[in-house]
Amino acid sequence: MRVLVVDDEVQLAEDVARGLRREGYAVDVANDGITAVELALLNSYDLICLDVTMPGMDGREVCRRLRQHPFDTQPRVLMLTARDSIEDRVGGLDDGADDYLVKPFSYLELLARVRSLLRRDTVVTSSVLTVGDIELDDARHQARRGERALDLTAKEFALLRFFMGRPGEVVSQETLLEHVWDANTDPFTNTVRVTVGTLRRKLQQGDEPPAIETIIGRGYRLNES
């Protein structure tokens, strides 16, 4: 999943981004509202962690502008702010935020809210995803096939998580590049094909049936059985 972290506190933004990247999320960072809007209109974000109090264009204005834009799928917005009055929370939600987290916050709570918001656009209702004999525990960052634990890199874990949120769907290489990789990725490299290949090999051992199917000319599909 691709996330945009927006905060004029540069160190805080980098710390949040670093933590999310360790969990396998693709993360971009903006330190002001104008840049945030520009990035959000350019890239397909699944979630935006948005600070409210910023000079110039504040987070509420950013949220209002994004909600007015005709995205195919609107990004989820998690507002981060030191303002904790009921009026501030209601105002942020009325501007289009999906959730509200008051600073200072626990990183573990932030991560839990990120996972919860990202599940809203899928068939997933808990942090444990199960497709066939493959199980992924997002909260514990563990995956297994049957009784076998899967030793996945952060990017392979993120890729499997994306597939498991869309079981049986054909997902194009372009969609994977938009949602599992960040803005620093060269779109002309074969990074998607290579990572899908290594994940496929780790998912299939011995006589296990193939888990990921290549649909020629269209993309990839995680088989449901």
What does the pLDDT profile of the chain (225 residues) look like in tens digits? 899 999 999 999 999 999 999 988 999 999 999 999 999 999 989 999 999 989 889 999 999 999 999 888 889 999 998 877 777 777 778 888 999 999 889 999 999 999 889 877 555 556 788 999 999 998 888 999 999 999 999 999 999 999 998 889 999 999 999 889 887 787 777 899 999 999 999 999 888 899 999 999 999 999 987
Task: Judge if 64 and 133 occupy the same domain.
Answer: no
Q: What is the CATH number for 103?
A: 3.40.50.2300
Task: Judge if 173 and 134 occupy the same domain.
Answer: yes
Mention every residue, 6+ apart, whose C-beta is less than 8 A from residue 14. 29
Asked if 51 and 8 touch (Cβ cutoff 8 Å), the reply is yes
The last residue of one of the domains, among 84, 119, 154, is: 119
Q: Which helix (H) or strand (E) holds 20?
A: helix 10-22
pTM over 0.85: no
Structural domain for 152, as ranges: 128-222
Rg of the chain, C-alpha, whole Å: 18
Tell me how far apart the alpha carbons of residues 28 and 30 are, in angstroms, rounded to a whole number: 7
Task: Judge if 140 and 52 occupy the same domain.
Answer: no
The last residue of one of the domains, among 119, 139, 158, is: 119
Task: Judge if 109 and 135 occupy the same domain.
Answer: no
Task: Judge if 89 and 19 occupy the same domain.
Answer: yes
- If one counts the domains in the chain, the total is 2
Asked if 176 and 160 touch (Cβ cutoff 8 Å), the reply is no
For helices 33-42 and 59-68, give the axis angle rounded to 10 degrees: 30
